[in-house]
Amino acid sequence: DGGITQSPKYLFRKEGQNVTLSCEQNLNHDAMYWYRQDPGQGLRLIYYSQIVNDFQKGDIAEGYSVSREKKESFPLTVTSAQKNPTAFYLCASSLDFYNEQFFGPGTRLTVL
Amino acid sequence: RKEVEQDPGPFNVPEGATVAFNCTYSNSASQSFFWYRQDCRKEPKLLMSVYSSGNEDGRFTAQLNRASQYISLLIRDSKLSDSATYLCVVNLISNFGNEKLTFGTGTRLTIIP
> Tens digits of per-residue pLDDT, A19-67?
999 999 999 999 999 999 998 788 999 999 999 999 999 989 999 999 9
Give me chain A's average pLDDT, please.
Answer: 93
Cα–Cα nearest to A43, from B106, B27, B94: B106
Distance from CA of A44 to the nearest CA of B (A): 8
pLDDT band at B31 (very low <50, low <70, confident <90, very high): confident
Q: In angstroms, rounded to a whole number, what is the distance separating the alpha carbons of residues A63 and A40?
A: 22
Asked if A42 lies within 8 A of B106 by C-beta distance, the reply is: yes
Q: In angstroms, rounded to a whole number, what is the distance separating the alpha carbons of residues B55 and B33?
A: 12
In this complex, is the C-beta atom of A41 within 8 Å of any C-beta atom belonging to chain B? Answer: yes
Strands of A38-81 (E only): list them: 43-51, 54-57, 64-66, 76-78
> Tens digits of per-residue pLDDT, B35-46?
999 999 899 999
Measured in degrees and rounded to the nearest 5, phi and psi for residue B70 equal -145, 155
Measured in degrees and rounded to the nearest 5, phi and psi for residue B82 equal -80, -10
